Every structure is written in C-alpha cells, then in structure tokens.
Structure 1
Amino acid sequence: MRITRLFTEADRSPYDNIDFKTISSEIRNPDGSVVFSQERIEVPAAWSQVASDILAQKYFRKAGVPAKLRRVEENSVPSWLWRSAADKKALATLATPAQEGERAGGETSARQVFDRLAGTWTYWGWKGGYFNAEEDARAYFDEMRYMLASQMGAPNSPQWFNTGLHWAYGIDGPAQGHHYVDFETAKLVRSKSAYEHPQPHACFIQSINDDLVNEGGIMDLWVREARLFKYGSGTGTNFSSLRAADEDLSGGG
C-alpha cells in the first residue's frame, strides 16, 4: 500500500500539533463510593472527562509495564518499528526493597496507548508485506496515532485492552486457546502465547453441538465463552441445534 499523509509531516511527531493535559480520573457509585481513581494521567486536551475516564479506567494497562525497556532487534524490520521488552539489566539496578514497586507499573498516558496500538498494526503490516516502502509504513504509523488522538477513529474494546501489550512492553503469558491465520502460510494456527497474537475481535456468534461434554458441546461452550469474555469480547450462541424439551436423549437417558 501507498500511504499519503493528510494530518502529519515526515520527521515530526504526530503529537506536535495536539495539545495534551494532565488530569485526574475518578468514577463513583450513585452512593458516592469510589469505584476507580487515578491521578496525573495525560490525555489530549480536547478530550472530554467522560472519554478520559473510559480510557483510564478501562483501557490503560494497569500492571506489568516495565519501567525500563529495550528494543528487540529484527533484521527484517526497520529499527524504529522494533518491538520492546523489559530491560532486565536496567531493572536489576532497582534492587532495593524500596525500589521493588518501581520495576513495573501501569500506563499513565494516552500516548502510550496510541503508540502501542498503531505501532502493533504497523508492525503486523510490515511483517505481512502490506506497505510499498518504509516511508509508507512510517506514514501509516504517524497518521493512525494522530487520528486516534484526535478521535477521528477508534477500534473496538478488545483492541484497546490487548493489542500491543507484547509489541510495546514484552508482556505475555501462557496460551489461552486463541487461533490466528499465519500470514506466511495462510493457515489457521493455535497461538503459542496470550498476547503475541491476541484475540482483539469484538463480537461472536457461536455454534453448539447437542452434546454434553465433547468438543463443541454444551460444557465446551462455557470454556469458549470464558475465553472471549476474559479478553473483553462479547458472544452469543445459536442454540437451534439443541434438542427440545422432552425429546429423547441420544444415549438412551
């Protein structure tokens, strides 16, 4: 793809023409009790308090963001697009008990979220050969960050929750049963980790077999629903294949 810049300029940050502000976010129950509170978060100045509260409460990663990061070199990827991971040597300098809590924390700026989303999309696009040239990839990265910050567009909630945690911070975990299409083989494969190939899709309609315990059956549906709910997705099910009340059981009953 060729990407033409509309809102940004080469060699300038897409945030240069966007004002930011530092605010507090607090959400309360009707009885006045505090549900959520976070001080000193950075958001675009044009954002409403409601939009800022949603970002801070729902979409900021709350834990596991390393205080020190290093870039992970890949020969086939431009250096500005290398993913990041925890810098263990630098983190080792925070060795005293008083510094233990400084080794990792959560996101505090909207820029971090915009960067991890747009950066991951650009990284995936580069790996998949979508861009004609490096300048097109850079333009895409900058334009997407500008549009996110300006609220010209927004992805679904699972993208905000999950996309970029591995690329931006090296956050990962055990595989959770997700699948993805390998861009090199065009085959569906099972993900080997939780966040390198996350499940960032919003809504699903699932099928169910008229079976209690086998794959695709009633109990298996609970697992599949839990897997989707855990990462912020929604799901419904077509139950038309299940037997009606008073019908015979296949196993004799």
Structure 2
Amino acid sequence: MHETKGIEEQGRSNELAQGRAGVGQGLDENLTANRDNGNGHAGLEQVTGKALTFDSQFCPAETDPFDTVEWESRTASIKDENGGVLFEQTGCEIPVDWSPLATNVVVSKYFYGEPNTSERETSVRQVIHRVARTIADWGKADGYFASEEDGERFYCELAWLCLHQHGAFNSPVWFNVGLYQQYGVGGSRGNYRFDTETKSIRRPETSYEFPQASACFIQSVEDNMEDIMRLATSEAMLFKFGSGTGTDLSTIRSSREKLSGGGTPSG
C-alpha cells in the first residue's frame, strides 16, 4: 500500500486515535426522508426500512461539542535535524489537551487551504466541523435518521469523539470531505460514483462534491499492455486524492515467459 501527501501516521496513531465504539442506538420504522437539501445527496422519496435514533452518550445533551474543551492559540512548527523550519503556522486554535505532536500533524497535514491565505483553516474546530457536519447532513438527506434531532445528536457525538481524540478518520476523509459542501471547493472532474437516481455509474463534474474518502483500494490487472497502462492511470488518480492501492500482479507473465511476437518480456 502507498499513501501520498507525506502523512505522519506513526505520530497520529497514538495521538489522534484511541478507538471507541459508535454511538447509534435504537431503531424506528418507516421514515419519510427529505429530498435533496443542496449537498448533492438526494434522499429517497420514501424510506421503508428502519431509521436510526440517537441518544447523547458522550456529548452532553443540548451542548455544543466545541464548548466541551478549553482552547488556546498555538504555533505549529516542524523542523529538520539542523533546526531549519520545514513548516510553520501561527495562531492555530487547538484544544489545550492536545499534544504538540497532534498539533503539528493536524495543522500541517489536514488544515485545508494554501498557507498564509484567507482560505486557510486556522482551527481544529473548523476541520472537525467540516467533516462531521458533512457526514451528518448526508445521513439526514439520505434518510438514515428518524428525525432532524437524531441527525443533530449524531453530529454532536461524532464531533465530540474526534475533538476528544477517541477516534480519528483516515487521511482521505480529512483531506477531501466537506470541501465542496462547506467551502464550495469544486476542482477538476473526479473519480466515478454510482448515481442512485439513474442507477448508473457516472463521473461527477467536480472532485469534491462526491469526495474520495476510502484509504485503501484493491485492483486487478490483465496480462496486456492496455490494461497495465489502465492500472497505472487508476493508481495515479487514487494517489491524487490521498488514498493507497494494492494490486494482484500474479496475472502478469514473468520475465522468463515468451511473448506472442517472439522473445521474452523486458521487465
């Protein structure tokens, strides 16, 4: 597996993820879902299955999750072995309990925007809200929650878990999710998706409306040059958005086997 954008996963594993169970509880019958709410995920006209209800398990009821921690302004700084500055951002709003390592990782890797511009994220609350708000809104639009209030409780629980470092998403989620929905970032045409309305596979006009959020992909390849080059393109597009990919190469002939035109493969 390969992952781009220089992610410091060894530091993030202890600082940003300690693992804790999900918080969904209960089921409710026959929810009438909302239609498209503008985030690109159109809900079904009638959801005839079961919808989730949520009770507050972590974030106190009627409480803004971002009010459950103390905040302070910090400078995120990464230096080389000689003390030279590799990365630095001042005025970052960070929870007091977060370590310097967690601060450097989230600011340098996951804050959206070009450094030293107005589009740059400056607070952990912006990053977590961007992701949690988008996921919760998708769930509400697609009819996953029994009520608007259940969807909001889900948002609060998800934000609380990330904010208190009981869980962390993979890198492509932090890189890509919410850029279109919260900031209006489109980008060039993205990878393909399944359209639930037309029941067909289509390629969105922008990269981030339906963002790539999975960390790892498994691909196949046939023993011919066309498919080998198709694989190279697929890998490059997955790397572009921060994911990794692995391929079963056992289908490709070895360098000792014969070619149909004579001779043996050169590589």
Partner residue, 1:71: none
Partner residue, 1:241: 251
**d(CA) in 2 for partners of 1:239 and 1:131?**
42
- Equivalent of 2:216 in 203, 206, 212: 203
Partner residue, 2:108: 57
**d(CA) in 1 for partners of 2:137 and 2:192?**
19
* CA distance 1:244–1:140, shift in 2 (3 Å): same
Q: Deviations over 1:68-120 (max 9, x none)?
A: xxxxxxxxxxxxxxxxxxxxxxxxxxxxxxxxx87x42000000011110011
Deviation of the 1:183 alpha carbon: 4.2
Partner residue, 1:150: 164
Partner residue, 1:166: 180
Q: Deviations over 1:174-201 (max 9, x none)?
A: 213x122334456443232100001111
- Equivalent of 1:220 in 230, 245, 255: 230
Deviation of the 1:23 alpha carbon: 0.4
TM-score, structure 1 as length reference: 0.78
Contact 1:2 1:132 in 2 (8 A): yes
What secondary structure is seen at the aligned counterpart in 1 of 2:207? coil
**d(CA) in 2 for partners of 1:206 and 1:132?**
37
Deviation of the 1:41 alpha carbon: 0.4
What secondary structure is seen at the aligned counterpart in 2 of 1:42? strand
TM-score, structure 2 as length reference: 0.74
**How do 1:130-141 and structure 2 match up within 5 A?**
130-141=144-155
Contact 1:128 1:183 in 2 (8 A): no
Can you give the 5+ residue segments of structure 1 that lack an aligned partner in the other structure?
65-100
**d(CA) in 1 for partners of 2:200 and 2:66?**
38
Letter aligned with residue 172 of structure 1 = G
Q: Deviations over 1:204-241 (max 9, x none)?
A: 221111121x3xx1122221111111111111211111
What secondary structure is seen at the aligned counterpart in 1 of 2:132? helix
Letter aligned with residue 165 of structure 2 = Q
Structure 1 position 47 matched with structure 2 position 57? no
- State which drifts further: 183-192 or 47-56: 183-192
Aligned pair count reads 212
What secondary structure is seen at the aligned counterpart in 2 of 1:15? helix
What secondary structure is seen at the aligned counterpart in 2 of 1:224? helix
- Select the structure with the greater relative contact order (CA < 8 A; seq sep ≥ 6): 2
**How do 1:32-181 and structure 2 match up within 5 A?**
32-63=83-114, 104-176=118-190, 178-181=191-194
**d(CA) in 1 for partners of 2:261 and 2:241?**
36
* CA distance 1:45–1:186, shift in 2 (3 Å): farther
**d(CA) in 1 for partners of 2:81 and 2:235?**
31
- State which drifts further: 52-61 or 222-231: 222-231
Deviation of the 1:58 alpha carbon: 0.3
Compute the RMSD of aligned alpha carbons: 1.9
Deviation of the 1:34 alpha carbon: 1.4
**d(CA) in 2 for partners of 1:203 and 1:160?**
15
Can you give the 5+ residue segments of structure 2 that lack an aligned partner in the other structure?
1-51
Structure 1 position 232 matched with structure 2 position 242? yes
